Structure 1
Amino acid sequence: MVELSLHRTHHSPVELRFLALGDSYTIGEGVAESGRWPVQLARALRADGIPVSDPQIIARTGWTTDELQAAIDAAAPLPGYDLVSLLIGVNNQYRGRSVEEYRLQFAALLERAVGFAQGRRERVLVLSIPDWGVTPFARQGSHDAAAIAVQIDDFNAAARQLCEARGVAFVDITPVSRARGAEPAMLADDGLHPSASLYNEWMRLALPVVRAMEAAV
């Protein structure tokens, strides 16, 4: 796991800017804004004395990699962020798109994320795709949980490879999604998306990666 180091001075209280890119898992489908994992992350960092703004979020339920690309084009965020997160791909898998297509489109998104972070790869944080096959939604729809797990692993392997090759932090939240993703308390009302409690588990995995900001000078 790569640690993320964000530069700030101890003499300046200026908030670090945070951009979060993704789909339903970033916008927090079914939870209050305060329960979204990027918002929880910013709040935890502030509690550590790191002045991070609430994230600007470019994400929507159902987006695939190409749809996120188009949304970024439309939003046209300017470079200059101190932290950029990226979590995308579950809808590529759900729609039966290929890993090869995902690899190409994810690579392009990763480069854009680095650009938004002022070219600093160590300021980019990627979260793995959770496994929705364990959820009540999947069971009720007679989806093949084993096949979903294999496909999710293939998509995540592609993303991890790209991150490692580029020196970008990759946080694997898939195991906790499998271990706890079927628990009622860990689910939103739709039985598919995480609750704020499961997002908190994700945040706790991401937090050590970005905590290196505390020691940055």
Structure 2
Amino acid sequence: MFRLFALVSVWLLTLGCGPDAPVPVPLPPAATPAPAPVGTRRFLALGDSYTIGQGVPAADRWGVQLAWLAQAEGLRKPDIIARTGWTTEQLREAIVAANPPASYELVSLMIGVNNQFQGLPLAEYRNDFRELLHMAIRLAGGRPGRVLVLSIPDWGQSRVGRSHAQASISQEINQFNAAARQECTAAGVAFLDITDLTRTTGYDPAQFAPDGLHYSGLHMQQWAIRALPVVRRLVQ
């Protein structure tokens, strides 16, 4: 009986291995989620000393810190067109000279403190700022929703600012920021107020660069953290 069972088993196996038997197909490996894009979104930062991070290492610049926080969104470290002391007119001239491509996924703009410091007219600032805003939109591929404007810090609350008329500085900064906000609203551009953060430094040395006027990486980190949810919405 056992011999008969063995012969039948061999016969069945032979039938299964014949030329017409289906050949097993290996299953494909399980799909894995695609990694987040790395450095796929170009970022251009326009401005003055606050954008270039006067007095601090490059890694401490607010825009660089923002790019680090927004790695999951694929934001690159920013290209920067900024210099200490620049007014709106000087920034506009620098952008024209640099002629950057109109292909950025995010463009930030932070300008005006030197207009205020030099006593330049508010009306002149508004006109220049409006032109800079249109330039920023063009550099963002014509998309207002990819432009972010940061308000002007209140340097009167810095350690150096203590020797100036603080109330007057704050009032003028408010006027310049109000003009910028109005222009952003008209153009459909996001406006981020960080001025309040600069008014709570309490002259703490840790909040300032060594010159006592510009801001430390620790302080500018607050700007980047506040900008992060806005940027996530803009580039989604």
TM-score for both structures, normalised by structure 1: 0.90
Indicate the percent of aligned positions where both proteins have the same amino acid. Answer: 53
Matched, 1:55 2:78: yes
Matched, 1:197 2:218: yes
Q: Tell me the residue number matched to 1:163.
A: 184
Aligned residue among 47, 53, 59 for 1:34: 59
Matched, 1:74 2:119: no
* SS, match of residue 179 in structure 1: coil
| Mapped partners of 2:168, 2:87: distance in 1 | 19
Match for 1:116: what amino acid?
L
Flag structure 2 segments of 5+ consecutive residues without an equivalent: 1-33
Alignment deviations for residues 137-178 of structure 1 (CA, whole Å, 9 cap, x no partner): 122xx3100000000000000000000111100000000100
Q: Tell me the residue number matched to 1:20.
A: 45
Matched residues, number: 203
Q: Tell me the residue number matched to 1:130.
A: 153
Alignment deviations for residues 52-105 of structure 1 (CA, whole Å, 9 cap, x no partner): 111000000000000001111111101000000000000000000011000000
| Mapped partners of 2:37, 2:170: distance in 1 | 46
Flag structure 1 segments of 5+ consecutive residues without an equivalent: 1-8
Alignment deviations for residues 3-25 of structure 1 (CA, whole Å, 9 cap, x no partner): xxxxxx98965610000000000
Q: Tell me the residue number matched to 1:3.
A: none
* SS, match of residue 56 in structure 2: coil
Q: Tell me the residue number matched to 1:150.
A: 171
- Return the offset for 1:181: 5.9
When Rg is computed on C-alpha atoms for both structures, the one with the higher figure is 2
Match for 2:155: what amino acid?
W
Asked whether the equivalents of residues 128 and 171 of structure 1 are also in contact (C-alpha less than 8 Å), the reply is yes
TM-score for both structures, normalised by structure 2: 0.83
Match for 1:22: what amino acid?
G
The runs of at least 4 aligned residues of structure 1 exceeding 2 Å deviation read 9-14
Q: Tell me the residue number matched to 2:28.
A: none
Aligned residue among 75, 88, 109 for 1:65: 88
Asked whether the equivalents of residues 21 and 86 of structure 1 are also in contact (C-alpha less than 8 Å), the reply is yes
Aligned residue among 96, 101, 107 for 1:84: 107
Asked whether the equivalents of residues 38 and 75 of structure 2 are also in contact (C-alpha less than 8 Å), the reply is no
Mark the CA change 1:211 to 1:12 in structure 2 (over 3 Å): closer, same or farther: closer
| Mapped partners of 2:70, 2:176: distance in 1 | 29
Higher RCO (CA 8 Å, separation ≥ 6 residues): 1
| Mapped partners of 1:78, 1:70: distance in 2 | 16
Q: Tell me the residue number matched to 1:97.
A: 120
Q: Tell me the residue number matched to 1:4.
A: none
Instruction: Tell me the C-alpha RMSD between the 2 structures.
Output: 1.6
Match for 1:35: what amino acid?
D
| Mapped partners of 1:169, 1:110: distance in 2 | 11
* SS, match of residue 160 in structure 2: helix
Mark the CA change 1:181 to 1:36 in structure 2 (over 3 Å): closer, same or farther: farther
